[in-house]
Amino acid sequence: MNRTSSDSRHVVVSYDVTADRRRNRICKELKNYGEHIQYSVFECLLQPRELDRMVKKLASLIDADEDSVRIYQLCAGCRSRAKVLGTGNVVEDPDVLVV
């Protein structure tokens, strides 16, 4: 995926899915878009089209009467203030190198 920091969106996706089969499908699909940072949480850097495609795919995988998927888009200011306590890092844009 060709991303640049100017058009990427930092997105946090969390899910609560009741059925193992659906939960596994959602996890597998989200691995196409970002990093699995906690049991049911992913961080992604997505272009607008990728975000739209991901949302549509996730909507097709859930049972809307039983499952919940939350998608949070973080602004650049919010992303820069993200903190991680303990292990792990905030997902970084692969096209940006900090020296």
Domain boundaries, the chain: 9-77
Give domain 9-77's CATH number out of 3.10.129.10, 3.30.70.420, 3.40.640.10, 3.30.70.240.
3.30.70.240
pTM of the model: 0.80
Residue pair 73/11 in contact (Cβ under 8 Å)? The answer is yes
Residue pair 46/54 in contact (Cβ under 8 Å)? The answer is yes
Task: Give the angle 47-53-57 at the CA atoms, nearest 5°.
Answer: 145
Nearest to 46 by CA among 79, 1, 83: 1
What's the pLDDT tens digit per position in 21-58?
999 999 999 999 999 999 999 999 999 999 999 999 99
Percentage of residues of the chain with pLDDT beyond 90: 66
